[in-house]
Amino acid sequence: MNKGLSWFTWSALVVGFSFLYLPIILLVLFSFNESKLVTVWGGFSTKWYVELFNNQGLLNAAWVTLKVAFVSSTVATLLGTMSGVMLTRFGKFRGRTLFSGMIYAPLVMPEVITGLSLLLMFVAISWDRGFATVTIAHITFSMCYVAVVVQSRLATFDHSIEEAAMDLGCPPGKTFFAITLPIILPAVVSGWLLSFTLSLDDLVIASFTTGPGATTLPMKIYSQVRLGVTPEINAVSTILVGLVATGVLVASIISRRSEAARLRDERLATAER
């Protein structure tokens, strides 16, 4: 390889990844800062974490956020998987174009519009805003992400395996649970993870659709951030980033392993033949 090229490659990678990761690393670093001033290093301390666990308001918001995220991502995974199957396996059904439009539109919709429209509807049917409305809002946009992830997995695997099962007399429902679901499971799991983190993150839609008693963590963080940078917020952020990063890494390792196992099985199967 050309020497000039590898020099360029190196600097592009180093500069690019430093840009992506330095802000997060600095944020984590300063959450362990003794000093209240965010830019002056006053020695290592975990006191902001201790303070965090004494802040009842923040803990309540975190609990609400986790509940919303868990419920919404679970329902969204169910609905999203159904939608993904519909779009790839059901051929033409009445209103398919409208349906696929409704699946893709939320992905490009500005959050302010999604939030506003849902709120106006909840008001129009005079539904009191709170835990349920935030959860419904989160289900609605998350299920579209799940549908896209599941759909792309379904599109890449061989339809003939399912056809073979059905030709041998396996009913469609059983075929789905015995053949299709195990194959698309990694996509379903990553769809769930994606919905969970999307719900965990969401500020704008939650601000529109929530009511008294259902303040989520991002809303709490946002209202404090507007007042300025504090080490306490750095500590919350560090915990959130740490949790999400661990979750994603573990999930990707598991899916890589299962993929490797599947490939090995396939090789064995062809070798026996």
Partner 1 sequence: MNQKSRDTDIPAVEYLDSRSAQGPAGSLEELHKRLLLLPPYRWVTQAITRSGLSARGILIATPYLWLLLFFLAPFLIVLKISFSEYAIAQPPYTALFEWVDDVFIQIRLNLENYQLLFEDDLYWRAYLNSVKIAGISTFLTLLVGYPLAYGMTRAPRHWRLALLMLVILPFWTSFLIRVYAWIGILKKEGLLNLLLLNLGVIDQPLVIMNTDMAVYIGIIYSYLPFMVLPLYASLEKMDDSLLEAAADLGCRPIKAFWQITFPISIYGVVAGCFLVFIPALGEFVIPDLLGGSGTLMIGKTLWAEFFSNRDWPLSSAVAVVLLLILVVPIVAFQKMQEKDKAA
Query: Using CB under 8 A, which residues numbered 53 to 82 contact partner 1?
Result: 79-80, 82
Exactly one of 36, 63, 112, 155 binds partner 1 (CB under 8 A); which one? 112
CB 174 to partner 1: min, Å: 5
Q: Which stretch binds partner 1 (CB under 8 A): 48-56, 153-161, 220-228, 257-265?
A: 220-228
Q: How many helices (H) and strands (E) does the chain have?
A: 12, 0
SS3 120: helix
Residue 191 engages partner 1 in binding (rule: CB under 8 A): no
Rounded Cα–Cα distance for residues 143 and 192 (Å): 9
Number of residues that bind partner 1 (CB under 8 A): 84
- Asked if 27 and 39 count as a contact pair (C-beta separation under 8 A), the reply is no
By CB under 8 A, name the one of 45, 70, 203, 258 that touches partner 1: 203
- Rounded Cα distance, 3 and 53, in Å: 53
Structure letter (DSSP) for residue 170: -
Nearer to partner 1 (CB atom), residue 50 or residue 245 = 245
* 226 lies in the site for partner 1, by CB under 8 A: yes
90 binds partner 1 (CB under 8 A): yes
* Nearer of residues 92 and 273 to partner 1, judged by Cβ: 92
**Residue from 50, 105, 254, 268 in contact with partner 1 (CB under 8 A):** 105
Radius of gyration of the chain (CA): 23
Minimum Å distance from CB 272 to partner 1? Answer: 25
Whole-angstrom CA distances from 14 to 11, 72, 189 are 5, 38, 32
CA triple 253-259-262, angle to 5 deg: 145
Q: Could you count the other beta carbons within 10 Å of the beta carbon of residue 248?
A: 14
Closest contact distance (angstroms) between CB of 123 and partner 1 is 5
Dihedral (CA of 194, 196, 198, 201) sign? negative
Verify binding: residue 5, partner 1, rule CB under 8 A. yes
Query: Would you give the end-to-end CA distance of the chain in angstroms?
Result: 42
43 touches partner 1 by CB under 8 A: no
From 50-58, 86-94, 160-168, 180-188, give the range in contact with partner 1 by CB under 8 A.
Answer: 86-94
CA atoms within 13 A on the CB side of 91: 1
* Residue 245 binds to partner 1 (criterion: CB under 8 A): yes
Rule CB under 8 A: say whether 248 interacts with partner 1. Answer: yes
Nearer to partner 1, 59 or 170 (CB): 170
With binding defined as CB under 8 A, does residue 181 bind partner 1? Answer: no
